């Protein structure tokens, strides 16, 4: 089912005051003057309304509420004549999902189902393909890439290992089911690790920067041997926008395939950018401290990004060193550190 004749313009962006959601709002509004966005965000600890302060107020409406409120979602879709949902809202930190899994099931699974149901009801009378529901998912639903195995292609069986990834996997299945059962025009993307400005300082890069600003070592699980791919936030936003504009309904796309490195290698690169912008007494050896591994920690992830490259002409544009330099600059400015 091809969606290329339908051009989404008026979007509901859930989680648009969070890290990736706010980068997506910036990108979407920059693409065309007739693009309009309603951001629905509960402003959990990870959301920040000021990330949207610079957006054109005539083309962006902010609603402080929860995706669990299906009646409200339906009303927003109808009142603002929205044709598309870009669903970023979620609880996203694996460690929190290990200590408090309930909220992950509520927000990520039930929240996604409430959105799907609201979309189904609001768009029931629309042309079959004049709407879109896009789910932002993760590479973590596939579980752990074993040494020597090829990178995952779309359609790989799911084997999530944390409550976070299991909740995202369940949500993906609901999205797919609403396509099959009700004909909702859905798509979903599996993203590799994203980085950049506005990420809440519980994730690896901002945690390390915060420690180093206080001349403290950054904690690294089990010495940092885990392998991850890293993609700059604006590239992730570009990937989601390309799926919305060119992707096929009922189909998954990988936003990954970039250079992979261990978490230790990543912090070494980050350290180079940090010390280029700020003087410190620490050496790199002092700047890292190995801590006990996370429960059930996946050793490696790896996405084959060739479908998005060939079908959507998607390619990340920001090199890791360049993206890390921009990220360091943003956090130093935000935390008002002398440089
Ligand atoms: N950051 C990554 O590396 C990465 C990688 C792969 C996939 N993803 C996915 O991308 C999406 C965005 O991730 P992120 O890193 O920007 O997350 P984030 O934690 O920075 O932001 C999540 C946003 O969702 C909002 N939110 C949470 N629960 C809500 C609810 N019930 N109702 C309304 N709003 C709610 C929060 O207030 C916040 O603004 C998530 O779905 C995540 O699973 C992220």
Which CATH number characterizes residue 29's domain? 3.40.50.720
For the CA of 45, the nearest atom of ligand 1: 37
Domain for residue 141, yes or no?
yes
Asked whether residue 29 is domain-assigned, the answer is yes
Interhelix angle 263-277/320-334, rounded to 10 degrees, is 60
* Ligand 1 near 18 CB (within 6 A): yes
- Report the domain count for the chain: 1
Per cent of the chain over pLDDT 70 is 97
Which residue of 88, 105, 171, 252 sits with most ligand 1 atoms within 8 Å of its CB, as the best mutation to test the pocket? 88
Confidence of residue 126 (pLDDT cuts 50, 70, 90): confident
Q: With respect to residue 60, please indicate whether it lies within any of the assigned structural domains.
A: yes
Q: Is 164 annotated in the active site? A: yes
Q: What is the pLDDT of residues 19-54, one digit of tens each?
A: 999 999 999 999 999 999 999 999 999 999 999 999
pLDDT of residue 336: 76
Residue 276 CA to ligand 1 centre (angstroms): 31
In a domain, 53, yes or no: yes
In a domain, 279, yes or no: no
Give the DSSP H or E segment for 11.
strand 10-14
Q: Is 335 contained in some domain?
A: no
Can you tell me the mean pLDDT for 208-214?
A: 96
Q: Is the pLDDT higher at 134 or at 337?
A: 134
Q: CA 61, 66, 70 angle in degrees (round to 5)?
A: 95
* Six token digits for residue 162: 């944390």
For residue 4, is pLDDT > 70?
Answer: no
Is the confidence at residue 315, as pLDDT, over 60? yes
Tens digit of pLDDT for each residue in 270-297?
999 999 999 998 999 999 999 999 999 9
**pTM, full prediction:** 0.97
Q: C-alpha dihedral over 41, 46, 50, 52, to 10 degrees?
A: -50
Q: Is 104 exposed, middle or buried (0-12, 13-18, 19+ CB in 10 A)?
A: buried
Residues constituting the chain = 339
* pLDDT at res. 1: 47
Active site residue 91: no
Whole-angstrom distance, CA of residue 218 vs CA of residue 204: 9
Domain that holds residue 239: 10-196+230-258+301-318
Tens of pLDDT, residue by residue over 174-195, are 999 999 999 999 999 999 999 9
Strands 288-291 and 260-262: unpaired
Distance 48 CA to ligand 1 centre (A): 12
- Annotated active-site residue 45? The verdict is no
pLDDT in tens, 240-256: 999 999 999 999 999 99
In a domain, 177, yes or no: yes
Instruction: Please answer whether residues 159 and 142 qualify as being in contact, where contact means their C-beta atoms are separated by less than 8 angstroms.
Output: yes
């Amino acid at each position: 089912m091809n969606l290329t004749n339908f051009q989404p313009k008026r979007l509901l962006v859930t989680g648009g005051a969070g890290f990736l959601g706010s980068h997506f709002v910036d990108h979407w509004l920059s693409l065309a003057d007739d693009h309009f966005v309603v951001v629905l965000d509960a402003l959990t600890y990870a959301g920040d309304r000021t990330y949207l302060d610079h957006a054109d107020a005539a083309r962006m409406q902010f609603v402080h509420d929860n995706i669990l409120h299906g009646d409200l979602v339906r009303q927003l879709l109808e009142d603002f004549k929205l044709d598309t949902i870009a669903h970023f809202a979620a609880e996203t930190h694996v460690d929190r999902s290990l200590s408090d899994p309930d909220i992950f099931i509520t927000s990520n699974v039930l929240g996604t189902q409430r959105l799907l149901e609201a979309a189904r009801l609001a768009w029931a009378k629309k042309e079959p393909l004049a709407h879109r529901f896009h789910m932002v998912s993760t590479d973590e639903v596939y579980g752990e890439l074993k040494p020597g195995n090829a990178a995952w292609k779309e359609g790989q069986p799911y084997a999530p290992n944390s409550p976070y990834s299991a909740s995202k996997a369940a949500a993906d299945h609901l999205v797919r089911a609403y396509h099959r059962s009700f004909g909702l025009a859905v798509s979903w993307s599996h993203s590799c690790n994203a980085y950049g400005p506005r990420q809440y300082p519980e994730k690896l890069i901002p945690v390390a920067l915060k420690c180093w600003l206080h001349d403290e070592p950054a904690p690294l699980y089990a010495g940092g041997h885990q392998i991850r791919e890293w993609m700059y936030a604006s590239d992730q936003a570009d990937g989601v926008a390309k799926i919305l504009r060119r992707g096929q309904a009922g189909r998954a796309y990988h936003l990954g395939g970039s250079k992979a490195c261990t978490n230790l290698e990543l912090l070494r690169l980050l350290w180079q950018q940090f010390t280029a912008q700020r003087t410190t007494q620490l050496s790199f050896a002092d700047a890292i401290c190995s801590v006990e591994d996370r429960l059930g920690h996946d050793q490696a992830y790896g996405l084959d990004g060739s479908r998005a490259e060939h079908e959507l002409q998607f390619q990340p544009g920001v090199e890791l060193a360049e993206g890390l330099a921009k990220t360091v600059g943003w956090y130093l400015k935000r935390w008002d550190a002398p440089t």
